[in-house]
Structure 1
Amino acid sequence: MPEHLKDQALDRAKRRDQYRRRDQCKRLIDICLQWNDLLLALLARDLKMRYQRSAIGLGWSLMRPLSQLLIFSLIFRHVLPLNIPYYTTFVFSGVLAWGWLSTAVPAAATSITGSSELVRRPGFPIGILPVVAVITQAVHLLLALPLLFIISFIETGGLALSIAALPLVFLAQALFTMGLSYLVAIAHVHFRDTQHLVGVFLMLGFYLTPVFYSPLKASEPMALIHTWNPMAWILEGYRAIFVEHAWPPVAIYWKTALISLPMLFIGIWLVERGSARLVDEL
């Protein structure tokens, strides 16, 4: 085949891939907009079931990160001191961000299999279930954010204009969490051990991510773990805002997007293509 024809064929293939990705992303947005009432109803149901008969209800969304903050501060300030400036703000920002991922992904893993009565209804948008799981856990992060603002203000002496970048860092984590959640939700329909494997990998990921310690420098052994860890990038963004009062590096956004968007598109495509088979597997 002549070279110019090969180039034209490659250009057409690239355009088809671009259109396909746009269609998949548009499909997810359309589902959320078209079924916004259902989305809100499922969100309210999940929150109600989670805190049913609980004495303090949503207050537990603060108790868990606060207890982790207390433990880490006690250990790494007094028992095994780490030379990290503004450690309370440093560790609390890490705990909140990791807490969103570590609760959303397991919840998403069982979001389809745990809602079989809804999934079997004709016309039900299966793709909305992982979204509900991620948003439900995001509520807990949003409820705890004011406390992070207060801690940062007191410990670091104020807040800077870089706080305006917080929605972008939040969006970057949302994309990564959503992409991962779609994949584990679909995998769990076919392989019921997925839920347990997710727990193991999240436990490992917690220690491989600089939640309570400083990121490894490039010259240090095992530094590649942080170099290629999307959550390490995201934590860097949060800490740039709350600890350093600086604008997060732009590379955080495009690197996270490069990993997150393919996962999200593949997940949406698998749900759209195999929705009938998903129902049969339940």
Structure 2
Amino acid sequence: MTTDTATHYCLNLACGSARGQVAAVSQLLDAHGAYIEQFSVFDDHTTERFYVRGVFSLRTEVQELRHAFGALAHTFPAAQWQVHDLAEPTKVLIMVSKFDHCLRELIAQWRRGELKMNIVGIVSNHPDLANIAHAEGLPYHHLPITADTKPAQEAKLERLIADTGAEFVVLARYMQVLSEDLCQRLHGRVINIHHSFLPGFKGGRPYQQAFDRGVKLIGATAHFATTDLDEGPIIEQSVERVDHADTPQHLSQAGRLVESLVLSRALRFVLERRVFINGMKTVVLR
């Protein structure tokens, strides 16, 4: 089948495990004229949850298929599903403080078409990185915060998320902890980068802590933000080898590189609809 003129979609399904689910899904797609290009599944025996990611092309309207799949999914235990049009960029809001390395990498990959998203704005509690946003023609929202103004600041943030239609919020070294209530309301939508191969070296001066302990590997972890600080479901991790000769400055430089890599890779997985939250962990279907 030639798919040049077809529209590409991604089907995501998470449900309780049962016999015949792969056959039922593939048969329904075939019956509606879908050409399946990718199809990945995972059955988690510990939680008895079943996950499907399927990419397919379709020359006809997708609404009839959506309706039919809704009826099929209703027969699966505790099913959650979506069909995404892959031609539509996902709306993403990026939050930063003063560090710019993750922001610059995300913008560079977005400009190259490697991250299929629409950056609807950049939010910061500092004015320092406004020049980057202005140079890229992106809206910059300076929302300063203190302990006393945090509820009002987060209310403005929530309004901004709603007004821009952002589906995901990326904390690209945003050095503030989101409130418990906000984390709950944005469950599964906030992606954070942590300067460690979790768990380890939490809090301030992580690279000084790593230096003091004489580590041989440093790393970074991208995860969904939850009410537990830096404990959310992990999306992606990576490490970089270091040794006794590296200073805290060298560790910080290496850390910035791995942070940028891990965050951009995690966001790509999310944008490609590969990531499912499975309790306190994730399933990432390749």
- What TM-score, normalized by structure 2, do the two folds share? 0.26
| TM-score normalised over the length of structure 1 | 0.26
Q: Which has the higher contact order (CA 8 A, sep 6+)?
A: 1
Q: Pick the structure with more helix per residue.
A: 1
Higher strand share: 2
